[in-house]
Amino acid sequence: MKLTILLISLLFSFGVSAEELCKNYKSDIESDHQWSETDFTKENAETSLKFLQGVVSENKGYGWYQLPNAITLIRGYVLKREALKEASKDFVPPGYHREGFCLWLKSTAIVD
């Protein structure tokens, strides 16, 4: 599973913003179970959404770890997207979405 996530990330990471949002946040999760900011791309979220649609609509089978990881990729993408665009929102305190994304990232593990 980790290899699959790594391959997906490598294939789609070129379209991600180069800015590292959470470089000052350290995770207590074992390194081989940590998500990377680069995992949370629009492409990975769309792939996960298609997977989930197949599970729900077509009753496709799946490994027990695939469901939580697909949901995590979608949630992480949405949180990261909000953190990246928060500077354009006058009504959001500076760093609000970034802090939320980074705290979530450092406490969320890859399921395998």
Query: Which tens digits make up the pLDDT trace of 41-95?
Result: 999 999 999 999 999 999 888 999 999 999 999 999 999 999 998 766 666 777 8
Q: What is the pTM of this model?
A: 0.78
Number of domains the chain contains:
1
Q: What is the pLDDT of residue 15?
A: 42
Q: What is the pLDDT of residue 46?
A: 98
Question: Considering the domain boundaries, does residue 31 fall inside one?
Answer: no
- Of 46, 36, 49, whose CA–CA distance to 102 is shortest? 36
Question: Considering the domain boundaries, does residue 72 fall inside one?
Answer: yes
> Residue 90: which domain range?
37-112
Question: Considering the domain boundaries, does residue 42 fall inside one?
Answer: yes
Q: Are 25 and 95 in contact (CB under 8 A)?
A: no
Question: Considering the domain boundaries, does residue 7 fall inside one?
Answer: no
Q: Are 2 and 69 in contact (CB under 8 A)?
A: no
Q: What is the pLDDT of residues 7-52, one digit of tens each?
A: 344 344 434 445 789 988 999 899 999 999 999 999 999 999 999 9
How many CA atoms lie within 13 Å of 84's alpha carbon, on the beta-carbon side?
Answer: 16
Question: Considering the domain boundaries, does residue 13 fall inside one?
Answer: no
How many CA atoms lie within 13 Å of 74's alpha carbon, on the beta-carbon side?
Answer: 13
H or E stretch at 85: helix 66-85
Question: Using CA atoms, how far apart are residues 87 and 93, in angstroms rounded to an integer?
Answer: 9
Question: Considering the domain boundaries, does residue 82 fall inside one?
Answer: yes
